[in-house]
């Protein structure tokens, strides 16, 4: 897999490692098409070799994973709860409890 970009002012097509984010005028190609790539007459094709050390997760990948975990840990707001809409309703009882991250505050059982 490779990403193809064009530099119109230089009449150059650049074929490099797969891009980590979408960009206008950048096209992802499969291995077969990236090997057979040809450019218009008068254009130069630059083929950038992938960095062998970049095969592991990048910092972008790790930050995206951390953001997804943080988002999943956020409590679901309650529209009409006694705590002003910031609590979580306990399933089955309808009683609101507090929550912070993965920890919950459970109400004291009534005698």
Residue-wise pLDDT for 21-71, tens only, equals 788 888 999 989 988 988 889 999 989 886 666 666 667 778 888 888 888
Q: Report CA 87 to chain centroid distance, whole Å.
A: 28
How many C-alpha atoms does 43 have within 13 Å on its Cβ side? 17
Q: What is the pLDDT of residue 83?
A: 47
- Percent pLDDT > 90 in the chain is 16
Q: Is 77 within 8 Å of 85 (Cβ atoms)?
A: yes
φ/ψ region of 78 (left if φ > 0, alpha if ψ in -120 to 50, else beta) reads beta
Residue 81 confidence class, pLDDT cut points 50, 70, 90: very low
In the chain, pLDDT over 70 holds for what percent of residues?
A: 59
Report how far residue 1's alpha carbon sits from residue 30's, in angstroms, rounded to the nearest whole number. Answer: 4
Question: CA geometry: angle at 76 spanning 71 and 81, to 5°?
Answer: 155
Contact between residue 49 and residue 55 where contact means Cβ atoms under 8 Å apart? no
- Compute the distance between CA of residue 35 and CA of residue 1 in angstroms, rounded to an integer: 10
Distance between CA atoms of 105 and 84, rounded to whole angstroms?
16
């Amino acid at each position: 897999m490779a990403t193809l970009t064009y530099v119109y002012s230089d009449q150059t097509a650049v074929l490099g490692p797969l891009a980590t984010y979408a960009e206008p005028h950048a096209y992802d190609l499969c291995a077969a098409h990236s090997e057979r790539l040809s450019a218009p007459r008068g254009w130069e094709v630059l083929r950038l070799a992938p960095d062998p050390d970049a095969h592991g997760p990048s910092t972008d990948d790790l930050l995206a994973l951390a953001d997804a975990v943080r988002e999943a840990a956020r409590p679901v707001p309650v529209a009409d709860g006694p705590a002003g809409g910031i609590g979580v309703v306990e399933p089955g009882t309808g009683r609101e409890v507090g929550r912070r991250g993965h920890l919950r505050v459970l109400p004291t059982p009534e005698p």
